[in-house]
């Protein structure tokens, strides 16, 4: 047993959190009169970590990562490609092999950055294309395994270079599904493949046949994006994939007139279609109250960090939540707290969990911060002083 002593779960009263193996087994009121040595005895020769009254939260969930793409840990790489999605794809394809991307060492370095910033569980897109085939998925699985169960990741087989415009990619996606990828991805069916019906029919058929979900990148704006939302919703119903489809980015949804958006959100709620956002500053943010009122869940993610698309990114998903809150004009306590929940406990569904919280029975994934309350933690994003994954200390500055 390990006792995480004198913490304030969600900013509440001082408590002691008891961990056994990978689980939270008890949360008890903290007694300041109890000596650390007495706690150690109660822990049956386990560890006692005195935390000085720090704020405790569930670990941050990264719901949209690209851990295979980075040059993290390598010397600085200047961006030399053209603009736009296709320009970035070409630049990445031209340079990734010389840098050893994807590679286990680089991917492990990315995961360490995530851990340092409080993320112990994630959903990551992994490139599957004619150049790397399944190699990226193998790399990510090996890197995650190096943490011996303390870090967990669900994998989206992601066709970054398009689906239909590269013959053989659908076969690679089906192979990924057979090999256990939890989700099949897609990318801007109208503008990348220029065949939205064909791309969506292809990936939905694979998901339905192999029992996995869909997590599709959709950057296309306004009505073009809304049209593809409708195609996605039609296929979600047709293939019986309610509750198993996510739209990443989905810029269009925040660009539509309110009445048009309300209709789409109602249809998404009926089919339990979710969204993930990296809160880009150049576009309108997902409207928090409209999503909550409609019953549509969304999560936060880092996207790629320090990669051949962009040198930006730190691996801090709490920082993405901060960016979302500020860009969306969120200032009231109840809304700030809601944003923290979206980044933590409310994201359980995005990583295949029923619960991800500071409660007995939950997996022991938690972080400690020097903050007054969750709202303070969001607006200041202080360092994560302690990060525990699966009951193991992964990072500590205590």
- Structure pTM? 0.96
Q: Is residue 373 domain-shared with residue 232, that is, in the same domain?
A: no
pLDDT of res. 45: 53
pLDDT at res. 146: 99
* Closest-CA residue to 169 (of 130, 196, 199): 130
Rg of the chain (C-alpha set): 21
CA pair distance 161, 86, nearest whole angstrom: 8
Q: How many CB atoms lie within 10 A of CB 104?
A: 16
Residue 40: its pLDDT value, please?
47
Cα 65 from Cα 302, distance rounded (Å):
6
Specify whether 254 is located in the same domain as 376.
Answer: no
Torsion of CA 379, 68, 182, 384, to 10 degrees: -30
Based on the fold, state whether residues 119 and 49 are members of the same structural domain. no
CA torsion through residues 87, 93, 98, 102, sign: positive
pLDDT at 39: 56
- Compute how many other C-beta atoms are within 10 angstroms of the C-beta atom of residue 87: 12
Asked if residue 231 and residue 82 are part of one domain, the reply reads yes
Confidence at residue 205, expressed as pLDDT on a 0 to 100 scale:
99
pLDDT higher than 60, residue 227: yes
Q: How sure is the predictor about 35, in pLDDT bands with cuts at 50, 70 and 90? A: low
Q: Is the pLDDT score of 209 beyond 50?
A: yes
Residue 42 pLDDT greater than 70, yes or no: no
Best CA proximity match to 317, nearest among 55, 10, 61, 58 = 61
Q: How far is CA 226 from CA 18, 50, 230, 255, 256, in A?
A: 47, 51, 6, 9, 8
Distance CA 93, CA 69 (A): 11
Angle between helices 169-178 and 196-210 (to 10 degrees): 20
Residues 137 and 10 placed together within one structural domain of the fold: no
How many other C-beta atoms can be found within 10 angstroms of the C-beta atom of residue 126?
29
Q: Give the CATH number of the domain where residue 364 resides.
A: 2.30.40.10
Please report, to the nearest 10 degrees, the dihedral formed by the alpha carbons of residues 337, 343, 349, 350 taken in order.
160
Query: Mean pLDDT for the chain?
Result: 96
Reported as a pLDDT band with limits 50, 70 and 90, residue 128 is very high
Same domain, 376 and 327: no
- Give bridge partners of residue 157 from the DSSP assignment: 126, 184
Choose between 233 and 34: higher pLDDT. Answer: 233
Task: Judge whether 233 and 273 are in contact, CB under 8 Å.
Answer: yes
pLDDT at 46: 67
pLDDT tens sequence across 367-385: 999 999 999 999 999 999 9
Average pLDDT over residues 14-25: 98
Shared domain check, 269 and 382: no
What are the b/e assignments for 145-178, b being 16+ CB within 10 Å?
Answer: eebeebbbbbbbbbbbbbbbeeeebbebbbbbbe
pLDDT digits 0-9 by tens, 253-291: 999 999 999 999 999 999 999 999 999 999 999 999 999
Q: What is the pLDDT of residue 33?
A: 84
Q: Are residues 53 and 67 in the same domain?
A: no
Same domain, 96 and 210: yes
The pLDDT value given to residue 246: 99
Instruction: Answer whether residue 333 shows pLDDT above 90.
Output: yes
Q: What percent of the chain has pLDDT over 70?
A: 97
**Same domain (yes/no): 246, 374:** no
For residue 141, give its domain range: 60-351
324 shares a domain with 277? yes
Contacts of 361 (CB under 8 A, 6+ apart): 23, 24, 355
The number of distinct structural domains making up the chain is 2
Shared domain check, 341 and 362: no
Q: Sign of the CA dihedral 353, 285, 89, 97?
A: negative
38 pLDDT tier (thresholds 50, 70, 90): low
Residue 293 has pLDDT above 80, yes or no: yes
Q: Which residue has the tokens 């998404």?
A: 268
Burial group, residue 144, by CB count within 10 angstroms (0-12, 13-18, 19+): buried
CATH number for 95? 3.20.20.140
Tokens linked to 277: 């956002």
């Amino acid at each position: 047993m390990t006792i995480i002593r004198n913490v304030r779960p969600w900013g509440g009263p001082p408590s002691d959190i008891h961990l056994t193996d990978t689980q939270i087994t008890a949360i008890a009121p903290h007694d300041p009169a109890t000596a650390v040595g007495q706690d150690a005895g109660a822990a049956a020769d386990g560890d006692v970590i005195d935390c000085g009254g720090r704020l405790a939260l569930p670990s941050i969930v990264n719901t949209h990562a690209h851990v295979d793409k980075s040059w993290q840990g390598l010397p600085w790489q200047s961006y030399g490609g053209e603009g736009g999605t296709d320009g970035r794809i070409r630049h990445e394809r031209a340079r990734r092999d010389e840098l050893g991307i994807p590679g286990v060492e680089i991917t492990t370095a990315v995961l360490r950055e995530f851990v340092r910033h409080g993320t112990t569980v994630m959903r990551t897109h992994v490139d599957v294309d004619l150049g790397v085939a399944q190699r990226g998925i193998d790399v990510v699985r090996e890197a995650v395994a190096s943490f011996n169960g303390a870090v967990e990741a669900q994998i989206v087989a992601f066709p970054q270079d398009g689906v239909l415009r590269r013959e053989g990619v659908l076969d690679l996606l089906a192979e990924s599904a057979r090999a256990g990828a939890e989700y099949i991805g897609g990318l801007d069916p109208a503008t990348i493949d220029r065949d939205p019906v064909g791309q969506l029919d292809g990936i939905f058929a694979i998901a339905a046949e192999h029992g996995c979900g869909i997590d599709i990148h959709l950057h296309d704006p306004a009505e073009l994006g809304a049209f593809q939302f409708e195609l996605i919703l039609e296929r979600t119903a047709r293939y019986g994939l309610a509750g198993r489809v996510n739209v990443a980015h989905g810029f269009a949804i925040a660009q539509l007139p309110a009445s048009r958006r309300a209709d789409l959100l109602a249809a998404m709620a009926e089919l339990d279609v979710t969204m993930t956002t990296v809160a880009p500053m150049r576009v309108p943010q997902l409207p928090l109250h409209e999503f909550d009122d409609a019953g549509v869940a969304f999560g936060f993610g880092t996207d790629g960090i320090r990669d051949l698309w962009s040198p930006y990114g730190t691996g801090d998903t709490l920082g993405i939540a901060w960016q979302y809150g500020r860009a969306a004009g969120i200032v009231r306590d109840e809304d700030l707290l809601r944003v923290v929940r979206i980044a933590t406990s409310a994201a359980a569904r995005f990583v295949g969990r029923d619960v991800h919280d500071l409660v007995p029975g939950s997996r022991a994934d938690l972080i400690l911060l020097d903050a007054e309350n969750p709202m303070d933690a969001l607006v200041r994003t202080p360092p994560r002083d302690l990060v525990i994954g699966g009951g193991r200390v992964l990072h500590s500055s205590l």
